[in-house]
Amino acid sequence: MLTRTTILWTLYAAVLGFAVGASLFSSYPPPHNHQTTIDGRQTGAKNATTEIAVQKSADDRIADYTWWVAAFTCALVVISAVQIHFLLRSDETARIIARAAEKSANVAEKSLIDSRRAWLSIDNLKIIYPTEITEDGAAIRVSFTTANLGDTPATEVSASASHWLHRDGKTYAEATTKFMEETRFPVRTGIMGPIIFANKEPQLIQLKWFIDGETIKKSIRVREDGQKFLDFSLFAGIAYRIAGDDAPHLTFVPYDWLNVPIRLKLVEGQEIEKSPAPFAKGIAD
């Protein structure tokens, strides 16, 4: 099957050959009449007629040549326009193919990364000693374990834990969004954290934070019998990077509500184990 380029060059050669052949053919003068007569006047008249015919023939050749040059130029313009059209279409087709190839390569790369990436878990969250809650403030300490369930190391690991007081004016959605952003922040800003390798024993993480007395007083719930309680939920999160992806990834687990009496004070060895909240879904991205 003939390609577009072959057809265009064949058409171009045909037009060029036709124009050149016509120009060469028209350059040959018509044969002269060599017949003479005794009558000098008749001979002179024939010579004059021949000169006029030759002059007309030269003008006609010039006119024919000019016409063919114009026709040939017009044909070249048409052929060039057709070539430009096909070149533009070919260029657009090449760009479409290149974009499709790039997209396929990106999908393949992402599939490979996802199949071997790191995945960090959060398990066994406990409130541990020396947690203490009073009306003047609270010191909360928790522990949980994390393990890399993937095939490649998790880098720049940053663990976090916090609380949501049910009566402090924030909604659950606001509290979780704020906590997840704060957990991702160290990884996003490039603060170097530890590396957790795959297929290793779970690592124990312990974290401690404080709640000021003013916040505690605004969040206390008083029962009919006069007993005071603090209603809150716990959040645990761990942010990290994976191989082949610069974005910070996050594992986030919300834990069940706590109704803690004021004046709670854990002694050494005492702990409160919590389960993930049944009403809320965590995140593992």
Calpha distance 110→114 (Å, rounded): 6
Domain assignments of the chain as residue spans, ordered by start: 4-115, 123-284
Tens-place pLDDT, residues 102-120: 777 767 666 666 678 999 9
pLDDT given at position 123: 93
pLDDT at 152 over 50: yes
pLDDT given at position 167: 84
pLDDT at 61 over 80: no
Calpha distance 165→142 (Å, rounded): 16
Q: Per-residue confidence at 284, pLDDT binned at 50, 70, 90?
A: confident
Whether the CB-CB separation of 119 and 150 falls below 8 Å is answered with yes
Where is pLDDT greater, at 226 or 31?
226
Q: Per-residue confidence at 98, pLDDT binned at 50, 70, 90?
A: confident
Q: Per-residue confidence at 79, pLDDT binned at 50, 70, 90?
A: confident
Calpha distance 74→63 (Å, rounded): 16
pLDDT given at position 14: 63
pLDDT given at position 176: 92
Percent of residues, the chain, with pLDDT higher than 70: 74
Least confident of 81-95, 143-157, 243-257: 81-95
Half-sphere exposure of 185 (CA within 13 A, CB side): 8
Select, from the ranges 42-46, 52-56, 100-104, 269-273, the one with the highest average predicted confidence (pLDDT).
Answer: 269-273
Q: Per-residue confidence at 38, pLDDT binned at 50, 70, 90?
A: very low
Q: What average pLDDT does range 66-89 have in this prediction?
A: 75
pLDDT at 66 over 90: no
Q: What stretches of the chain show up as alpha helix (H) in DSSP?
A: 4-26, 40-116, 172-188, 213-219
Where is pLDDT greater, at 200 or 25?
200
- Backbone torsion region of residue 225, taken as left when φ is above 0, otherwise alpha when ψ lies between -120 and 50, otherwise beta: alpha
pTM: 0.63
Whether the CB-CB separation of 163 and 233 falls below 8 Å is answered with yes
Helix axes 40-116, 4-26, angle to 10 degrees: 170
> The tokens of 27 are what?
């350059």
Whether the CB-CB separation of 275 and 282 falls below 8 Å is answered with no
Where is pLDDT greater, at 64 or 255?
255
Name the residue with tokens 């016509």: 22
pLDDT at 171 over 70: yes
